[in-house]
Amino acid sequence: MNIPKIILASKSPRRQELLRLMDMDFEVVLKDVDESYPEGLTPQEVAVYIARKKAEAFDETIGDEVVLTADTIVCVEGQILGKPETAEHAIEMLQMLSGKVHLVITGVCLLYKHKYNNFFDVSEVFFRKLSLEEITSYVTEYSPLDKAGSYGIQERIGLIGIEKIYGSYTNVVGLPTEKLYAQLINLNK
């Protein structure tokens, strides 16, 4: 397996941990990028659009490394949920997800030798009905402000609230490692 060193353009500790678990050689490099997107895009297009926008910030400065960018969004009943702005906003989002099925979509962009490889993954997540007390306790005790949809599947709310998922678990964590690995091993082909 001859995968070039990865520049991970993400401060997400979850993405970093997933790459470590995959035994990937990577370095975290951050650049500020405007994460706005044009109207009229599907949720999948939004996730890929933002991931690519993040990668484009590196195009002029990249060497032989692979720049890996990603953006995860949660979509419930056609509404895109990003990261909450406040604890109250996080509680609102979790109430919207409670007792419903939602989609977790992660757009990924690999920039290698000035070529962009964009892809995405979608997972369906089924939340049981959560009480306001369960939601408030989670928001108070954990840090949902850096998570799309206000939750981490690997944290208490995920462990007690998610009844089932269809699709990739690691996608819900924030990086579809199965698809990522397949793309990385085919970079030079």
Q: How far apart are CA 3 and CA 14, in angstroms?
A: 21
Report in angstroms the alpha-carbon separations of 119 from 50, 52, 64, 68, 157. 12, 10, 21, 12, 28
Region 60-81: mean pLDDT is 92
- pLDDT tens digits, residue range 84-140? 999 999 999 999 999 999 999 999 999 999 899 999 999 999 999 999 999 999 999
- pLDDT of 188 higher than 80: no
The pLDDT value recorded for residue 1 is: 64
CB 62 within 8 A of CB 29: no
Name the least confident of 6-15, 56-65, 72-81, 127-136: 56-65
Query: Domain locations in the chain?
Result: 6-185
What is the C-alpha to C-alpha distance for residues 90 and 87, in angstroms, rounded to an integer?
Answer: 5
pLDDT level of residue 189 (50, 70, 90 thresholds): confident
pLDDT digits (tens, 9 = 90+) for 126-158: 999 999 999 999 999 998 888 989 999 999 999
- Compare 2 and 41 and report the one with higher pLDDT: 41
Catalytic-role residue among 23, 59, 71, 146: 71
Percent of the chain with pLDDT over 90: 83
The predicted pLDDT at position 145 comes to 87
| Global pTM exceeds 0.75 | yes
101: helix, coil or strand? strand
Active site residue 25: no
Residue range 6-185, CATH number: 3.90.950.10
Is 162:153 a contact under the CB 8 Å cutoff?
Answer: yes
183 pLDDT higher than 90: yes
**Segment 25-49 mean pLDDT:** 93
